[in-house]
Amino acid sequence: MLNRRHLLAGLTGTALAPMMAGFAKAATPAELLRIAEVHVSDFPTVKAMQWMDKELGAATNGEFGFRVYHSGQLGREKDTIQLARIGALACTRVHSSALNNAVPATRIMSLPYVFDSTEHMRRVFDGPVGEEILAACREIGLVGLAIYDSGSRNFYNTRHPIEVPSDLHGLKLRVPQSDIFIETVAGLGANPTPLSYGEVFSSLQTHLIDGAENNWPSFQTSQQYKIANYWSETEHSFAPDMLLMSEKVADEIGTDTSNFIIDAAKRSVPVMRTHWDAAVDRSRAIVTEAGVKINAVDKAAFRKAAEPLLEQYLKDPEIRRLYDAVRAQA
């Protein structure tokens, strides 16, 4: 029998009539589980959430569904993490770097030059390492649902091409509000400026920063490519996105429904990846057509420049253990 208690937070909707065992037909309108997302409405992660909404609605005969609040309507990623922890949101999609301080296992995701390619990253997170990191989110009251692609991260700026680390000297570059990203960009020679994702476009416009680092779809859909005309393919990080559910909300909706959401989230990963791969191709084509100058870099030089930071983190036995597991699948 599904748990019929009202959700005190994280859901909107009306009371439901008592149900028969399992997923019986709903007698009243769906209770909508709120998901927070900072990306735009047609972003691959949003499309994956919309797919989950259809799956949940079909499985519960319309009793439950998701309401996706995209484009940062419910705040920044760090804000939505806190809202989910207290049960004011059902789910949130965040970049893994936002969890680096609270969930130490996620640090392996953000460290520079740990992953060799998208294929390498996917192999790792589809296996035991990914499951371990998702499980670790329980430490802060969150259920790790899925690890979504976020592509390779590369530098872009308004001033000149970046081919070797010394080309970063003097540039003020936006980084996520993460110690590892701050240390990485500083170690490579630039001046890191921590800002939320939503502040990057205006900061480029006002010259608060000279550039940033991110993936192709984020660079294009945020319109940042219209200001920053130099893209340099450093591929210094493959840190992914993560979909999380409030443990409090999971308890409120009951085991049957929460387990179905966990399963649907895992099944949404290939859905997201299909949209992601298409979005990367589309975004790169749009940016190229707009005249952004794209260049390769001396990747060996960048790897060497990042080594001191990587070695510092690898002194932690747990990070070393996860690193060795990641590299074993390279």
Ordered by start, the domain boundaries in the chain are 11-150+240-279, 153-238+282-327
- Cα 68 to Cα 49: distance, rounded to the nearest angstrom: 7
Q: Is the pLDDT of residue 239 over 80?
A: yes
pLDDT at 31: 81
Mean pLDDT, residues 125-137 taken together: 98
Mean pLDDT, residues 52-80 taken together: 94
Instruction: Determine what percent of the chain is predicted with pLDDT higher than 90.
Output: 88
Mean of per-residue pLDDT scores for the chain? 91
Cα–Cα distances in angstroms (integers) from residue 149 to residues 106, 274, 306, in the given order: 14, 10, 23
- Cβ pair 240, 109 in contact under 8 A: yes
User: Could you tell me which CATH number the domain at 11-150+240-279 has?
Assistant: 3.40.190.170
The reported pTM is: 0.87
Other beta carbons less than 10 A from residue 19's beta carbon:
17
CATH number 3.40.190.170 is the correct assignment for the domain at 153-238+282-327:
yes
- Domains 11-150+240-279 and 153-238+282-327 in one fold: yes
Contacts of 79 (CB under 8 A, 6+ apart): none
